[in-house]
């Protein structure tokens, strides 16, 4: 059997270029798909790579369905995904192709599961949405903590944090609002502010004694505190694919929570602000608010974040009374480098003739298996941290 063709959508964007660089480093020659043949050829020339290109409207399900084959592996970095991303994943499901994307929109991943799981399963396609910093390390850390906790585990929490290298032990660094600005791009900040104004999801029992399931819940409804390496970090609840993927692998779970801890001491004030205030914040992009990527922030959308950013993801498995049973922490490169590396690994792995992925729409653990995912994450620079060692220093 021959290797599958890798099809990359959005290669000319910031994340897409990261993915392309990693794919080329692995010896892959992806087909670039987008609206501008000229831009894609110029990009391939800049990377000194002879790559096939296909000029296609990436927001057209019909056009992409005609392009894709059952043996393809699709990587999409076209966002915002709720507005632009459904065409690619729908075409992949219908074609029977494997699919990965870079979304951080948990609501998009939920839509993929609800609308396309059955179609993908019948066609033999595997759809894994949010296969990057959002939300592979949380799924992986959560699965490792739950595995170590054993059958008593009933609850799991995963928190996402950013740290800095070169300033002592990165495990001891608590992010600040300035970090959230200087370690991200304008496009990320725009998405982050917009997401804070939207409805989210959680995995829990909606009523006492009822069965746990995915439920609607506003972003930032709760704040969770993570203790690791002698440092306390606050995180606001957000939608993630952990809510969808971990209960599939660990059906005894009664709740799954995902937290974003990028705001440091501003986490609780952000959560206390009403959704209407967040929407007004988001609307400031028309006035050039620097966090929005609007007119005065337009140059910032393409600006590179500080190079010393690092990622820290902490997961805690708890028993039925909320007592901690096991904690796992993963460290890795900055969110953009991690996303590019993970997507490239996932696509390259899925393209192998002997690759076995679970058909349907799944989280990363169910799609690849825990052991394979852990090895792939290590290739992308994601490793377990030693909190006890950090605390002793």
pTM over 0.75: yes
Residues of the chain with pLDDT under 50: 278, 280-302, 389-393
State both tokens at 230.
């002698």
| Domains of the chain listed by start with CATH number | 6-133+339-376 (3.40.50.720), 136-334+383-392 (3.30.360)
d(CA 160, CA 256) in angstroms, rounded, equals: 14
Per-residue model confidence (pLDDT) at position 298: 31
- Asked if 157 and 257 count as a contact pair (C-beta separation under 8 A), the reply is yes
Per-residue model confidence (pLDDT) at position 214: 87
Per-residue model confidence (pLDDT) at position 282: 44
Give the helix/strand (H/E) hosting 215: strand 213-218
Per-residue model confidence (pLDDT) at position 201: 83
Residue 11's Cα: distance from chain center in Å?
17
Secondary structure class of 159 (helix, strand, coil):
strand
State both tokens at 337.
């480098």
Per-residue model confidence (pLDDT) at position 194: 56
Residue 357's Cα: distance from chain center in Å?
19
- Asked if 161 and 233 count as a contact pair (C-beta separation under 8 A), the reply is yes
CA end-to-end span of the chain: 52
Residue 343's Cα: distance from chain center in Å?
10
Q: Under 8 Å CB-to-CB from 356, ≥6 apart: which residues?
A: none
CB-count exposure of residue 232 (10 Å: 0-12, 13-18, 19+): exposed
């Amino acid at each position: 059997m021959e290797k599958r063709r890798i099809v990359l959508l959005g290669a000319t964007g910031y994340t897409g270029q990261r993915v392309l660089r990693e794919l080329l480093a692995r010896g892959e020659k992806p087909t670039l798909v987008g609206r501008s043949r000229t831009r894609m050829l110029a990009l391939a020339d800049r990377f000194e790579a002879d790559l096939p290109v296909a000029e296609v409207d990436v927001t057209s399900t019909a056009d992409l369905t005609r392009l894709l084959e059952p043996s393809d592996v699709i990587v999409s970095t076209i966002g915002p995904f709720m507005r632009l991303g459904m065409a690619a994943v729908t075409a992949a499901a219908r074609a029977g192709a494997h699919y990965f994307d870079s979304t951080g929109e948990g609501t998009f991943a939920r839509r993929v599961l609800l609308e396309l799981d059955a179609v993908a399963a019948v066609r033999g396609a595997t759809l894994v949405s949010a296969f990057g910093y959002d939300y592979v390390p949380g799924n992986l850390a959560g699965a490792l903590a739950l595995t170590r906790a054993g059958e008593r585990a009933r609850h799991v929490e995963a928190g996402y944090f950013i740290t800095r290298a070169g300033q002592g032990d990165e495990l001891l660094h608590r992010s600040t609002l300035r970090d959230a600005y200087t370690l991200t791009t304008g496009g990320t900040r725009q998405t982050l502010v917009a997401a804070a104004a939207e409805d989210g999801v959680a995995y829990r029992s909606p009523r006492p004694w009822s069965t746990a399931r995915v439920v609607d819940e506003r972003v930032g409804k709760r704040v969770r505190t993570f203790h690791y390496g002698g440092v306390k970090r606050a995180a606001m609840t957000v939608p993630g694919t952990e809510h969808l993927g971990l209960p599939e692998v660990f059906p005894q779970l009664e709740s799954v929570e995902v937290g974003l801890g990028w705001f440091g001491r501003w986490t609780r004030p952000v959560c206390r602000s009403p959704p209407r205030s967040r929407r007004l914040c988001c609307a400031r992009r028309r006035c050039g608010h620097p966090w929005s990527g609007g007119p005065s922030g337009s140059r910032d959308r393409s600006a590179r974040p500080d190079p010393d950013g690092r990622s820290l993801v902490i997961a805690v498995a708890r028993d039925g009374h909320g007592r901690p049973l096991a904690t796992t922490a993963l460290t890795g490169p900055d969110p953009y480098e991690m996303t590019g590396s993970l997507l490239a690994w996932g696509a390259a792995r899925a393209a192998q003739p002997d690759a076995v992925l679970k058909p349907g729409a799944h989280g990363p653990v169910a799609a690849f298996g825990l052991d394979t995912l852990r090895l792939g994450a290590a290739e992308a620079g994601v490793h377990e941290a030693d909190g006890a060692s950090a605390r002793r220093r």
